[in-house]
Amino acid sequence: MNTAANPELAGRPDGWWRSAVVYQIYPRSFQDSNGDGVGDIPGITSRLEYLAELGVDVIWLSPVYRSPQVDNGYDISDYQDVDPLFGTLADLDALIAAAHQRGIKLVMDLVVNHTSDQHAWFAQSRDPASAKRDWYFWRPARPGCEPGTPGAEPDDSHAAFAPSAWTYDPASGEYYLGIFSPGQPDLNWENKDVRQAVYAMMRWWVDRGVDGFRMDVINLISKPAELTAGGPIEPGQGSLRRVANGPRLDEFLAEMNREVGLDEHNLLTVGEMPGATVEVAQRVTDPARHELNMVFTFEHVNLDQVGWNKWDLADLPLPVLKGNLASWQDGLAEAGWNSLYYDNHDQPRAVSRFGDDSPEHRVDSAKTLATVLHLHKGTPYIYQGEEFGMTNAPLTRIEHYLDVESLNYHALATAAGVSEEQVLRSLAAKSRDHARTPVQWDATDNAGFTTGTPWMPVNPNHDQINADAARHDPDSVFAHFQKLIRLRHSNETVQEGRFQLLLPDHDQLWTFTRTHGDETLLVVANCSSEPVEIPTDGLPRLDGAELLLGTHPDAAATTLAPWESRILRL
Ligand code: TEU
């Protein structure tokens, strides 16, 4: 049941991930090594020195498995091979070894809520007589409807990236479930052979030396009774929310932990959980339950939308954002653990979204946003390019977009009569494509990303904003991230201190304390583009406080400059 002894495992002491900083790589956009315009694994290996210089402990590698790339690798057709687009298994082994040599761990993305429709399991499942039929969700047409005709889908659920969650298969006359897209059929976790096949695959990766798993939409694996009961489905308005946090979620996660030896081998485990509440996270991350180390909440990245529709834009007042993070800090204060992030491959760039990406304020706002996030309790995640303040891209026409989610939204919304202008406004604010422009390594034509034609154009601002410039500037966003990472590594209060939000209703200041033993740290951050007087009410006395890290030179001033932040020891 457990993995073979692996000498690499020696490097994972109990709870090591509590003081770690993780760096997410989206391989397609990180570094190309062979001139085909797509980032690849040898490209990542060639940049390890950069990551070591930044000081991160762990790489989370977005999917490099074999895939038809319907959703850029989140549709896997072979879990135990590397897609030729990204290199070979040998390249991946070499990356893991080279990372380990530098003391950097590597966590794989695990996408097991669904496979690709090109996976061998699904190919077999298309045959109603196959034992694999039950590995996916197959259902007849809606009673009284002609199979395959419009409106005959088993229910009205939309897929995240397609009009319907049900795809008709003419050969068997039935529909299969794919809550993301037709190319991503959902696995049936009720079937224990499915679960055992997933665990065996995970053990194979652990034996190969990986240090953990980031688990894609893992809170969707236990489907609601209306789906698992097997009979006809009540037609109704479907949403991702309905399939989240199902009845057997904790049971499946505990079983996976046991069968793969996740805790036994001190692997880092983080579950991506859209629709998870802090109560779900309390259960899942309670160490006594042996499920996962931490989860990615979506609450804070869904605050600038109306309801469940990310394209329906809403203003986000600072008290709402900081209050939400504080509620997770409080909720997981006793047991459990937080993950901390603003950015990933699905989100617009933090400095454009929560900061001010104008030339005047970009650097300071990127630094101050980082100060705030990295001083919360939990494991911080940095998304490639965030460490030197990459911004959203100037995507103004539908032709500029490549992502399946954006294109599907554009098609559906315009067909439903939403104006082109409004659709483009939503896309410009929220498209996942902002995160996926190539990393801006330098000021040359293709930003040092490729010698060929990049699969997605580089952001034209790479002449100003790039890693090379940031590394050579002691006042850069990059230098600030380095200091924040060093502070986390060296200071126990940053790692373990109790969090308390101060001035919760202040519209511009994000202030809180972290307390551990005798030490109290105070963070005061001006999250606005205007100067702000530091209030005397509601904050501890600042005289005599020691500045651990600040964004501006005059750290004694009683007025904070726009986007100025200070970390003080009281
Ligand atoms: O994302 C899960 C998820 O909920 C997203 O689809 C999210 O709703 C959307 O991106 C917000 O705009 C994960 C992966 O991170 C994402 O890249 C995949 O497309 C998705 O699962 C399916 O595997």
Which position has the higher pLDDT, 157 or 405? Answer: 405
Q: What is the structure's pLDDT at 554? A: 84
What is the dihedral angle through the alpha carbons of 451, 457, 459, 463, rounded to the nearest 10 degrees?
A: 30
Band of pLDDT at residue 157, cut at 50, 70 and 90: confident
Band of pLDDT at residue 4, cut at 50, 70 and 90: very low
Alpha carbon of 508 to ligand 1 centroid (Å): 31
CB 83 within 8 A of CB 64: yes
> pLDDT per residue over 74-84, tens digit each?
999 999 999 99
User: Active-site positions?
Assistant: 216, 272
Instruction: Taking residues 262-282, report their average pLDDT.
Output: 97
Q: What is the structure's pLDDT at 231? A: 60
10 Å Cβ neighbour count for 396? 10
Polymer length in residues for the chain: 570
Q: Report whether pLDDT(420) > 70.
A: yes
Band of pLDDT at residue 8, cut at 50, 70 and 90: very low
- d(C-alpha 556, C-alpha 560), whole Å: 9
CB 528 within 8 A of CB 563: yes
Which residue lies with its CA nearest to atom 12 of ligand 1? 346
Q: Report whether pLDDT(367) > 80.
A: yes
> pLDDT per residue over 160-193, tens digit each?
999 899 999 999 999 999 999 999 999 999 999 9
Instruction: Taking residues 331-355, report their average pLDDT.
Output: 97
- d(C-alpha 541, C-alpha 568), whole Å: 11
Alpha carbon of 563 to ligand 1 centroid (Å): 31
> pLDDT per residue over 490-516, tens digit each?
999 999 999 999 999 999 999 999 999
Alpha carbon of 346 to ligand 1 centroid (Å): 6
Q: Report whether pLDDT(455) > 80.
A: yes
Q: What is the structure's pLDDT at 288? A: 97
Instruction: Taking residues 365-373, report their average pLDDT.
Output: 98
Q: Which residue among 77, 180, 239, 345 is best mutated to probe the pocket of ligand 1, counting the most ligand atoms within 8 A of its Cβ?
A: 180
Q: Which residue among 79, 116, 216 is best mutated to probe the pocket of ligand 1, counting the most ligand atoms within 8 A of its Cβ?
A: 216
Q: Is 517 exposed, middle or buried (0-12, 13-18, 19+ CB in 10 A)?
A: exposed
Q: Which residue among 346, 347, 405, 431 is best mutated to probe the pocket of ligand 1, counting the most ligand atoms within 8 A of its Cβ?
A: 346
CB 549 within 8 A of CB 524: no
Closest ligand 1 atom, CA of 71? 19
Which position has the higher pLDDT, 159 or 233? Answer: 159
Ligand 1: list residues with CB < 6 Å.
71, 74, 111, 160, 180, 216-217, 272, 274, 310, 345-346, 405, 432
Closest ligand 1 atom, CA of 430? 12
Which residue lies with its CA nearest to atom 2 of ligand 1? 217
Give percent of the chain above pLDDT 70: 96
Lookup: tokens for 486: 């060093």
* Summary mean pLDDT of the chain: 95
> pLDDT per residue over 201-250, tens digit each?
999 999 999 999 999 999 999 998 888 876 655 544 455 667 899 999 99
Q: Report whether pLDDT(431) > 50.
A: yes
Which residue lies with its CA nearest to atom 7 of ligand 1? 346
| Radius of gyration, CA atoms only, the chain | 24
Band of pLDDT at residue 555, cut at 50, 70 and 90: confident
Give percent of the chain above pLDDT 90: 91
Q: Report whether pLDDT(7) > 70.
A: no
CA distances from 134 to 114, 126, 346, 470 (A): 14, 10, 31, 53
Alpha carbon of 180 to ligand 1 centroid (Å): 8
Lookup: tokens for 22: 């993780």
Q: What is the structure's pLDDT at 556? A: 87
Which position has the higher pLDDT, 44 or 7? Answer: 44
